[in-house]
Structure 1
Amino acid sequence: MHSWNDLLPRVKIGAAMLLAFFCTTMFAPVPNLYVQHVVLKERFSTIQEQIMQMSSSISQLQAYLPENNLAFIVPFFTNKSTQTIQQASGNQSGELTFPTGSGNVPTTSNSTSPPSSSPSQGKNLPSVTPTSANIMAPTNTQSPKATNTPFPTATRKPNPTATQVPVKNVQPINCPSTSSRSYGTISIVGSPETRNVATHPDINLDVRGYAPVNEAKQHIRIYTPLEPVDPPQLTTLGNFTSLPPIVGTYRANHWDWNNNARGPAITVPVVTVIGIGMNPGDLLHTPVSGYDIGGGKEVMVLFATQTKLTIKYTREDNMAYGYGLHFDDICVDPNLVALYNQMNSQGRHILPALSEGEVFGVARTGEVKVAVRDTGAFQDLREIDNWWEAFL
Structure 2
Amino acid sequence: MRTLLQAPPGFGKTRILARLAVRTGAKTVFFVRSHGEALQAHRYISELGGRASLAFGRATLCKYGARTLGDCISLRERGICKVKYKYINKIFYNFEEIYKEKICPYEYFQSISRQGNITILPMSYLESQEYLAGVADLIRESELVIIDEFHNVLLNDLTAERDLPSSAYCDYGLKRCLLMPFLRELIGDRDLFATTASIPEKFSEIFVNFFSLEYINKDNIFYENLIIDIFPIKIRYNNRNKNQIINIIYKIVSKIFNDYKKLIIFIPNKSLLSYYKAKFKHLPVSEVPLGDVPQVILTYYNSPLSEGLNIDVDSAVLIGFPFPNITDKWLKIKINFIEKLGYNGFKYVYLFAAVSSAIQAMGRAMRELDRRVKYIAAIDDRFWHYRNYMPDWFKRTAVLRDAPSL
TM-score range, shorter chain: under 0.3
**Larger C-alpha radius of gyration, 1 or 2?**
1
Which structure's relative contact order is higher, taking Cα pairs within 8 Å and 6+ residues apart?
2
Tell me which protein shows more helix as a share of its residues. 2
For normalisation by structure 1, the TM-score amounts to: 0.19
